[in-house]
Structure 1
Amino acid sequence: MPRPNGNTALKAARVAAGYATQQALADALNSAGPRLGLGDLDVSIRQVRRWESEKPPWPQAHYQRALRHVLGNMTMAELGFSPSWGSVPAPEDVPRGMLLGIGAIGPAQLPLPSGSGGFQPESVAADYALVTGSHRRLYWTVQPTQMHPTVIEHTRLGTALMSETTGPARIALARALAESALMAGRIEFFDLRDPVAAADTYVRALQAAAEADDTLLGSAILAHTAFVPGWAGDRPTAQERMRAARAYARRGRPSAEFLAWLDAVEAECETRCGHPRTALTLIRHAEEVLAEGGEFASPEWMDWFGPVRLASFKGNTQLKAGQFDRARETLLRVLAELPADAGKQRAVILGDLAAAAVGEQRVEEACEWAGKALGQLSVTWYATGMDRVRDVRQSLQPWNELPCVAALDDAMFGWRATVSALQR
């Protein structure tokens, strides 16, 4: 609600703390940043003026911490702030590296209510996180069309609870909410092939991670946002987002697996943008990082990567580099080592093996691998896996008259497969 006299609560707190001018408060906040481990905050007098305006924007987590420290550990409500979750933060409220054109909050976003909160028990965050963890495990086997609405509704619940919690419970809730929104974005991008919806959902995930001040989770979300321009061939934007993801990772305690995964994500983007040689260099670095190991463990929510997944990235990159024999060797090893519940990844690997066979003009073998991929997709649907099969079929155009290619068409366009694809 607009305040005709501006944010008088913040003005009063500033003067009471001994900062007679807005510039004095800005200087104090900037000086506090390094002492609090927040780095260079770069707060301007214009920023302070906006906080003391009729419609003060909700400060980001690192600004909140500095404000509380400088102004005597007052709560944000006592400083005159109310969260306005329904809008994207203004540029001055966003840390450097987050203004990456990720997207704007649109109709698909989950409106988060405002309020001073604080009337949920502390156990609510742990209970919410428990369900988030269950969704994490269910993701690998449950159909995405069934999983997505459930995760979205869980995220809606988390956003509503944000206005009803304070203190450590609010931070823990924000962290679980960020993970849940990240999962929703992953389903939208990889399983349902809706990059526009995914880009919006990733913004919401990043906002929640900022509220929790979880830089490693923020890094993971930013890396996922790089897939969107990377798969669209927008190399500069993908590279910028990966630089941001690496910057956030440096602020946390990344494991060797996490750092190797960042290499793998960048390699995937480079491959999609037509630079497989650069991608192979990144893959080699990732292998070295994994072999060397590290002192930190991977976070519990990072269940999508390991040596086998890195090898699958490598096989696809070798394939795009025209190294068909090496790709086949790598992908066969991955296929043998995939766990039983990795149905989605298995469909991708089978599709890549089909593509490698096409590259070597082994047409019957390509059709056989593509048929196996379709069989896996009938059990565990994965849009990314289906994209692989479609690409293989397109590359088989010169051999349309062969019986094995006709049989592949029959498998792709049978009643069950066609109706299922249209439903999805």
Structure 2
Amino acid sequence: MTRPARNAKLKSARMAAGYHTQQAFAEALGVGVRQVRRWESDNPPWPHPDLQQRLTHLTGQDMEALGFTIPPGRDHPAAQRHYAAVAPPRSAGSHLPAVPSQSTAPMQPASVATDYANVTRSHRSMYWSVAPATLHPAVIAHADLGCALLPETAGQTRRDVAAALAETWLLAGRIEFFDLREPDDAGATLLRALQAAGEADDSLMGSAILAHTAFIPGWAGEHETAAERMVAARTYARRGPASAEFLAWLDAVEAECETRCGNTRTALHLIRHAEDALAAGSEHLTPVWMDWFNPVRLAAFKGHTQLKAGHLPQARATLLNALDRMSATEDKQRTVIYGDLAAVEAAAGQPEEACRYACLALDQLQTTWYATGLDRIREVRRALAPHHHDQCVRDLDDRLYGWATTVSALAR
């Protein structure tokens, strides 16, 4: 027998609305199916404000009737029903709040956009040092605040809040994908980021978000989907206009996707194009929020692709050069480069050197957690399987499966 949904109220409302599968309901809401499973669990989490209206719109019932328990301090369902009754309808597929009438919410002063963006900027800076499990809830809460502020703003203030909200959702999506390895959640979050960028009419932000969505199918080896998303990202970038650094990053993203799909020759061509773009430069400025890319990061992309292409001497030289040029604040990228250097040595038949670099990566992870970095180390350990009796590999296992590392990995 099929196990009944534990939140039977939501399942019944979903079925009555014509969504006979969780997948269909998730697609209508613009979230991952994993999120719907959470809502239909024993203890469903309280949805973000923008999704509450969508849920009630699709099912015709308020949150309480859908089996959700209102957290302390939240609005009563009667207030939600009043808002739904007086607020203008949103466009199909939108997950951002509509602008309400003056009688339903006070209009915020223009300064609220600056205040909101200041917090967004702080979160951007903290990403490089604060543990993802600590930062992510704060970023999500800030996004909730932005969604709540949008209906209380208009004109340029609304566009400015939406721009900062798009960056906030993008940061949340980056944490979910790169730091926590939750691609389904990241996909849903990046969709919200794209909608906020549309509200702000920020084409470059839209391009950056679309390029990040390409990582998800790219890492899964889904070439066609990744390629389509990169076409969209480049289309938005042309409306920017985009700086040389921004266009080089798009090349690097596409190169990473091509590498993951086994097309290393195409990837190396894209990286050469990116290097040429950086060398030529441009008159356009790079957005201040694009702090995740520079020539050293491009070199790291290149070294990884050379590794996957089997060009081991070139990969070693590229990665060592990138390591020497890295700034002291780039801890997460340093973990990835150590992992790739370990992979180079493992492929070259040098297990001791491979283990040395892998242990350096583990040392870095203890300072700044990065799930993508741990993935690299695990790949190296699999490559070292023929040497599992060597003392250096056993020592690596003791580090890799120590209490702290194991608990951290399982917790994430």
For this structure pair, what is the TM-score category when the shorter chain's length is used for normalisation? 0.7 to 0.9
Q: Of the candidates 61, 82, 86, which is equivalent to residue 88 of structure 2?
A: 82
Size of the alignment, in residue pairs? 325
* One-letter amino acid matched to 1:254: A
CA drift of 1:113 comes to 6.7
Q: Of the candidates 191, 212, 225, which is equivalent to residue 203 of structure 1?
A: 191
Question: Do 1:315 and 1:326's aligned partners in 2 also have CA atoms closer than 8 Å?
Answer: yes
Q: Residue 137 in 1 paired to residue 137 in 2? A: no
Number of the residue aligned with 1:305: 293
Number of the residue aligned with 1:344: 332
CA distance in 1, matches of 2:409, 2:315: 29
Question: Do 2:248 and 2:274's aligned partners in 1 also have CA atoms closer than 8 Å?
Answer: yes
CA drift of 1:416 comes to 1.8
Q: Of the candidates 267, 278, 288, which is equivalent to residue 279 of structure 1?
A: 267
Number of the residue aligned with 2:174: 186
CA distances 1:106-156 after superposition (whole Å, capped 9, x unpaired): xxxxx7476235611110001000110011100001000001000000000
* One-letter amino acid matched to 1:221: I
CA distances 1:161-190 after superposition (whole Å, capped 9, x unpaired): 000000110000000000000000000000
Q: Secondary structure at the match of 1:134?
A: helix
Which has more radius of gyration? 1
Q: Secondary structure at the match of 1:269?
A: helix
Q: Of the candidates 324, 334, 358, which is equivalent to residue 322 of structure 2?
A: 334
CA distance in 2, matches of 1:229, 1:208: 22
CA drift of 1:81 comes to 8.2
Call closer, same or farther: CA 1:83–1:340 in 2, change over 3 Å: farther
CA drift of 1:88 comes to 2.1
Q: Secondary structure at the match of 1:140?
A: coil
Question: Do 2:88 and 2:98's aligned partners in 1 also have CA atoms closer than 8 Å?
Answer: no
CA distances 1:1-42 after superposition (whole Å, capped 9, x unpaired): xxxxxxxxxxxxxxxxxxxxxxxxxxxxxxxxxxxxxxxxxx
For the aligned residue pairs, the C-alpha RMSD in angstroms reads: 1.6
Q: Residue 224 in 1 paired to residue 230 in 2? A: no
Number of the residue aligned with 1:384: 372
Number of the residue aligned with 1:115: 100
CA distance in 1, matches of 2:316, 2:97: 48
Question: Do 1:118 and 1:163's aligned partners in 2 also have CA atoms closer than 8 Å?
Answer: no
* One-letter amino acid matched to 2:244: A
Number of the residue aligned with 1:68: none
Q: What TM-score results when the alignment is normalised by the length of structure 2? A: 0.77
Mapping 1:151-166, distance limit 5 Å:
151-166=139-154
Mapping 1:166-181, distance limit 5 Å:
166-181=154-169
Runs of 5+ consecutive residues of structure 1 not aligned to the other structure: 1-54, 56-79, 90-104, 106-110
Q: What TM-score results when the alignment is normalised by the length of structure 1? A: 0.75
* One-letter amino acid matched to 1:88: G
Q: Of the candidates 394, 399, 409, which is equivalent to residue 411 of structure 1?
A: 399
Question: Do 2:87 and 2:98's aligned partners in 1 also have CA atoms closer than 8 Å?
Answer: no
CA distance in 2, matches of 1:253, 1:118: 36
Call closer, same or farther: CA 1:196–1:325 in 2, change over 3 Å: same
CA distance in 2, matches of 1:183, 1:353: 28
Q: Residue 146 in 1 paired to residue 134 in 2? A: yes
